[in-house]
Structure 1
Amino acid sequence: MSARKFAELGSVEQLVIADAVPGRAQALAQQIGKPHVHALTLDAGNRDTLARAIRGTGSTLLLNAALPATNLVVMRACLDAGCDYIDMASGGAENDGIPKLTDQFALHEEFKAAGRLALLGMGADPGTSNVYAAYAAKHLLDEVTELRVRDGDNAVCEGHTGFLAYFSPWVFIDETTCGAISWHDGAYHLEPALSGREVFNFPELGNLTVYHVDHEESRTFPMFFPGLKGADFKLCMDDTTWRTLKVLKELGLNGKDKVRVGNVEVAPRDVVVSLLPEPSTLAGKLHGKTCVGTLCRGLRDGQERAYYIYNVTDHQECWTTYGVQATAYQTGLPPVLAAQLIASGEWRGTGVLSPEQFDPDPFMRLLDASGMTWHIRDEQTGAIDPAYIWVEEPMAA
């Protein structure tokens, strides 16, 4: 999705798609079919090779859409080659060798000294969810006290009745079966995996059951919103999904370390992932909608207020218009918009930064202009986009 949107931008002189799997990047470049789009077979885990490729192609910005395990290697390759960096996810709470946000933020001074920008977690959530929080702090609340991301999906899939993941199954299993970071009482806390059951009313989707999931927003919100009293992330799961993940965790089938089976060694999670459909193959088969939003609580004129800022995207509409399912669209579009703002200078900065550190208005304008319409629900009245919430023009510079 990101590659296709980048290819549509007139400001992009050259787009290089790279993948470790031979032929996959080339196939996508051929599908796009534009002369300025090229492809490379490249291992994102090899710093020197990647840095040479960045220099050789003259690239000025790299979007890392690989697994979070590659983040630090790719960031350092960007430093070596003098290139800006964007990713869409980081490692979870477990000390498992996968780079965490703290590891990435540790490179802040190096990026700053190099005059380069590394923008972390710029997908749907994290990404738009962080910008929604910044928007609430700028336009809706005088003081922000709670930020809670709620992610829902009511889709059913043709031909599938069991456990599915609409984005990377490896990442999905990773973030749902480890402990989940939350923020309360002035400190970070680790919530048990698959805990915190709550029924949340999603606009257009209705009531869905959500659970604690480890996510980047729970770490960054307390860093950049002083005085925050509560922050967490919860994702909807139906009973089948919740039970399956519970069993995977209890049996160790979510494990990343290899175990010996007969004459071979294999990671249990890799076996599970190999048995699941690749998310891109689900496009066109999903019927329903997905909603990603941030519930923002705080004070306005001394009174308690709460607003849910969100986007609802229809799976079938995305398939008809873009040839992808809604989750891929919601995740793939935001980094392209962020890249536009960085290139235009509307988002400026050096070092390692998070989306909520930037002015939200230019991004929110681009979201609407790109068809990813966002809305605000007043949690006290239930009104959607009520005129009375605006003190000034919401998109004023």
Structure 2
Amino acid sequence: MKVLMLGAGAVGTVSALKFKQEAMLQQLVIADAVSARASLLADRLHDRRVSALGLDARDRGALARTIRETGTTLVLNAALPATNLQVMRACLDAGSDYIDLASGGTDADGIPKLKDQFALDAEFRAAGRLALLGMGADPGTTNVYAAYAAKHLLDVVTEFRVRDGDNSVCQGHDGFLAAFSPWVFIDECLCKAVSWRDGGFHLEEPLTGVEPFDFPELGVLNCFYVDHEESQTLPRFFPGAHTVDFKLCMDQATVETLRVMKRLGLAGKDRIRVGDASIVPRDLVVSLLPQPKDLAGRMHGKTCVGTLARGVKSGESRAYYIYNVSDHETAYAELGVQATAYQTGIPPVIAARLIHEGIWCGAGVMSPEQFDPDPFLDRLAREGMPWRVRDDTARAGLLPVRSRPSRETVAA
């Protein structure tokens, strides 16, 4: 297995550390737009199979040349979603499989969306190559949990509710922060969120639909609509589900900070003039926030990511929450990272192994729920992310909520 990994941030660090543990790894090339960052991570791994280089993931030509010159068989794109299409096309040019972690949100901002990536399906099929989209924690493991529920727990699936909870505190910092890419976090929270119900996709207003959810080991936390890939792919591959949505827990201070940010234009993605300078407001905000890789060792608490599946089993209504809880201090003790990066960086490495072994196989553009969940979940538990199933049939796992009516309906 020869891997080219784009991005040497918090998630890329976890993936690189896990790739190092793979006996079948022949080569790992770590590439980042900041070459010093890639070199620093490669030096940390101290493995003859690992090298580093400076590379802009938006440069399709340079990326294709690098894939060819290094003999890369799989590209893991751990860079920003804005690079997805260029990287996918470079993989087609050079003949490599592809994995990424997330796609663009619903804003008309030029960032590639899921539909843009799925539009390359025929080209990947013709090339005999696989592009696996959204293979992190959520999306990623949450999609696999959905497939597990459909295969083992329910005869008929009627709902998927993805719920992400976190009770973390950061030592030495009591302000706004994000445990993964702050740019992406702001984006998915402040754009309209896709949900699926009654046979159609809907756009929910940002930071609405507040709902208390009882998370294992964390307790009851308030969750809000956030735009996520699962709400678009799960209805596509489980057409019997009449409701699919995603909600993320946030405390009131985070919600208010995001709202103020939006009101003041600080979440803006377009360049503006400030005196003699030209800046992008969101880039300025992100530059002032702690970077996710620098949170390792400072975060305390736990994060829970899971999928609540409702449906029918043997003629009776059933509900199950399939989830993983990861602890920041445990993640730091094992890999020197924080738990959110840990949960996100491990799944693509497992997927890469399954693709290399031919266990997850196919050609085209695909989503995690299209594959057999069992080999992935077996490996997930052994890699430090034990997953569990909570029977929510007779408990208030999903409490009733009166959400405001959706403002928009969009075509499927």
TM-score under structure 1 normalisation? Answer: 0.96
Q: Counterpart in 1 of 2:103?
A: 90
Residue type of the alignment partner of 1:233: F
3-state DSSP of counterpart to 1:146 = strand
Residue deviations 1:221-278, cap 9 Å, x none?
Answer: 1100022110000001001100000111111111100111001111110010010000
Q: Counterpart in 2 of 1:65?
A: 78
Contact 1:59/1:83 (<8 A) preserved: yes
User: What are the equivalent positions in structure 2 for 1:250-289 lying under 5 Å apart?
Assistant: 250-289=263-302
**In 1, Cα distance between equivalents of 2:292 and 2:141:** 21
Residue type of the alignment partner of 1:358: F
3-state DSSP of counterpart to 1:44 = coil
Q: Counterpart in 2 of 1:225?
A: 238
Q: Counterpart in 1 of 2:112?
A: 99
Residue type of the alignment partner of 1:155: S
Q: Counterpart in 1 of 2:346?
A: 333
Contact 1:377/1:383 (<8 A) preserved: no
**In 2, Cα distance between equivalents of 1:77 and 1:158:** 41
Contact 1:288/1:314 (<8 A) preserved: yes
**In 2, Cα distance between equivalents of 1:13 and 1:248:** 46
Match of 1:201 among 205, 214, 217: 214
Residue type of the alignment partner of 1:255: G
TM-score under structure 2 normalisation? Answer: 0.92
Match of 1:318 among 326, 331, 334: 331
3-state DSSP of counterpart to 1:126 = coil
- Unaligned stretches of 5+ residues in structure 1: 385-397
Say if 2:136 is the partner of 1:145. Answer: no
Q: Post-superposition shift, 1:383?
A: 12
Q: 124-133 vs 249-258, which deviates more? A: 249-258
Q: Post-superposition shift, 1:195?
A: 0.5
Q: Counterpart in 2 of 1:54?
A: 67
Q: Post-superposition shift, 1:171?
A: 0.3
Residue deviations 1:153-193, cap 9 Å, x none?
Answer: 00111111111100000000000011000001110000000
Match of 2:260 among 247, 258, 273: 247
Residue deviations 1:3-55, cap 9 Å, x none?
Answer: 11111111010110000112111111011000010111001000000000000
**In 1, Cα distance between equivalents of 2:387 and 2:185:** 25
**Which runs of at least 4 in structure 1 moved beyond 2 Å after TM superposition?**
380-384
Say how many residue pairs are matched: 384
Q: How high is the sequence identity, in percent, across the aligned residues?
A: 66
3-state DSSP of counterpart to 1:173 = helix
Match of 1:183 among 187, 190, 196: 196
**In 1, Cα distance between equivalents of 2:35 and 2:28:** 18
Q: Post-superposition shift, 1:333?
A: 0.0
Contact 1:120/1:353 (<8 A) preserved: yes
Contact 2:84/2:103 (<8 A) preserved: yes
Contact 2:134/2:229 (<8 A) preserved: yes
Q: Counterpart in 1 of 2:312?
A: 299
Q: Counterpart in 2 of 1:388?
A: none
Q: Counterpart in 2 of 1:135?
A: 148
Contact 2:82/2:104 (<8 A) preserved: yes
Q: Post-superposition shift, 1:381?
A: 3.9
Q: Counterpart in 2 of 1:343?
A: 356
**In 1, Cα distance between equivalents of 2:359 and 2:90:** 25
3-state DSSP of counterpart to 2:35 = coil
